[in-house]
Structure 1
Amino acid sequence: MPVRIAESSSCSTPSQGSGANSGDTLPPACTLLSVGQAFSGSQNVSSLQKDEAWKVNVRIQGCDLDHGYLCGTMEALNVPFADTPVVTFWEGEIVDTKNYTFFTGKWEATIEDDIRHWSKFPSFSPLLNEVKDDGGRSLNLSNYPYIFMRWKEQYFVNVGVDCGLTIAGFYYVCFSVSDGSIDGFYYDPNSSPFQKLELKSTNEGKSGFSFSSYQLQ
């Protein structure tokens, strides 16, 4: 979810690593990662000045595993100084070693940034050495019990760009196939580091909660 701009820093951008080889396999199919599925939880946006967390709802609006793509909406419910919940539209890249690797190659993320953030997930530890070599291109993730993704917010749905928030960064995301839980870390070199996103699949599945009506352009 969008965060307040903090101190600035600069990062170089490596080449995009999205090639494929013997690891050209799709992540496991999962009914909890499908169109209409809802998740709820929180994002910790604490800074040195104060502790702060926002309630967050996410709904998947599109999913194409063959092309490593998904998209959805994210709603923050208790953003300070916002009169209404703040809703953004995001697009995601699924790390499948066919369409995308663990190396981001854009959005001001270096390979070092990638390794640092992916390593925050305990489930990434067994993959670390191979990822260091080539971004994980040789990995077979088809039966791995976790799906790794990047989520990039594209635009605000219901507020203007002058709302005082930024969506310049993106999320490193880890999805548990077994229970549908999601952990993520927001990366933006100009914002507070390692803001943690924690979501659970809603108990009532695809009808777990609903957003107000928004038109996505």
Structure 2
Amino acid sequence: MPVRVAESSAPSPSPGQEGSPDHALLPTCTLLSVGQTFAGTQNVSCSQKEEAWKVNVRVHGFDPDHGYLCGIMEALNVPYAETPVVTFWEGEIIDGKNFTFYTGKWAATPEDDVRHWAKFPSFAPLMNKVEADGGKSLDLSRYPYIFMRWKEQYFVNVSVDCGLTIAGFYYVCFSCIDGSINGFYYDPNSSPYQKLELKSNEGRSGFSSSSYQLQ
């Protein structure tokens, strides 16, 4: 949920999956599930670390068979905001069946996709196949990272005139090894490569925004 800026002028099944309903699309990962919470920061400026906002995330829904998850994001120290800013987001899990590495919407081109995914070191071994077909031929069932897109859908507790924008989306990489999350926000009209860094909280204790009613 970066600061709003002025406007500038500017899936097919993977081979070998057909007829194989038991094929695992995602690695078994207990660190990503309903109720799991994460805490960290988002740097709203790629050049000034002190502009980082404290961020909490909670997963409210998780459906790996359909490549879907959702949750809420809470930014705690947003300038000029009298209260933490909470948004509801929905996610697309890159599994080669439901969603590929190519976004195909939200003003993101295949070049934008590759440029952002390439910022994750864990993406490097996948680069050639993604450039060939968006990653549809990849088997990610044993890969220790889960790639996702998170799209904020609406503000939960503030109006759309709050001075923030949710027009863009996040490229996200989740580590099944330690439960950490790294992401980069993409919006052609916002500062590029705003980095999201989150770590899994112990247990599944909630945070303040868990009391908000989602519509």
Quickly name the TM-score band, shorter chain normalised: over 0.9
1:205 deviates by 1.7
What amino acid is aligned across from residue 3 of structure 2 in structure 1? V
CA 1:23/1:54 → structure 2, altered by over 3 Å: closer, same or farther? farther
| Structure 2 partner of 1:45 | 44
In 1: Cα distance, 2:139 partner to 2:69 partner: 20
Superposition pairs of residues 69-108 of structure 1, within 5 angstroms: 69-108=68-107
CA 1:113/1:160 → structure 2, altered by over 3 Å: closer, same or farther? same
What is the TM-score when the length of structure 1 is the normalising length?
Answer: 0.91
Superposition pairs of residues 151-170 of structure 1, within 5 angstroms: 151-170=150-169
CA contact (8 A) 1:56 1:77 kept: yes
CA 1:6/1:180 → structure 2, altered by over 3 Å: closer, same or farther? farther
CA 1:97/1:50 → structure 2, altered by over 3 Å: closer, same or farther? closer
CA contact (8 A) 1:6 1:192 kept: no
In 2: Cα distance, 1:106 partner to 1:33 partner: 26
1:55 aligns with 2:48: no
1:205 aligns with 2:203: yes
Runs of 4+ with deviation above 3 angstroms: 47-51
Provide structure 1 residue ranges, at least 5 long, that are not aligned to the other structure: 11-17
| Structure 1 partner of 2:20 | none
1:22 deviates by 1.4
| Structure 1 partner of 2:171 | 172
CA 1:132/1:47 → structure 2, altered by over 3 Å: closer, same or farther? closer
CA contact (8 A) 2:2 2:190 kept: no
| Structure 2 partner of 1:141 | 140
Superposition pairs of residues 175-190 of structure 1, within 5 angstroms: 175-190=174-189
Secondary structure in structure 1 of the residue aligned to 2:34: coil
CA contact (8 A) 2:5 2:190 kept: yes
| Structure 2 partner of 1:216 | 214
What is the TM-score when the length of structure 2 is the normalising length?
Answer: 0.92
Superposition pairs of residues 185-196 of structure 1, within 5 angstroms: 185-196=184-195
Secondary structure in structure 2 of the residue aligned to 1:205: coil
Provide structure 2 residue ranges, at least 5 long, that are not aligned to the other structure: 18-23
Measured on the aligned residues, the alpha-carbon RMSD in Å equals 1.7
1:104 deviates by 0.2
In 2: Cα distance, 1:4 partner to 1:50 partner: 19
| Structure 1 partner of 2:5 | 5
| Structure 2 partner of 1:34 | 33
In 2: Cα distance, 1:48 partner to 1:118 partner: 20
1:48 deviates by 6.4
In 1: Cα distance, 2:141 partner to 2:166 partner: 31
In 1: Cα distance, 2:66 partner to 2:125 partner: 25
- Once structures 1 and 2 are overlaid, which stretch shifts more, 38-47 or 91-100? 38-47
What amino acid is aligned across from residue 158 of structure 2 in structure 1? V
1:208 deviates by 5.7
What amino acid is aligned across from residue 64 of structure 1 in structure 2? D
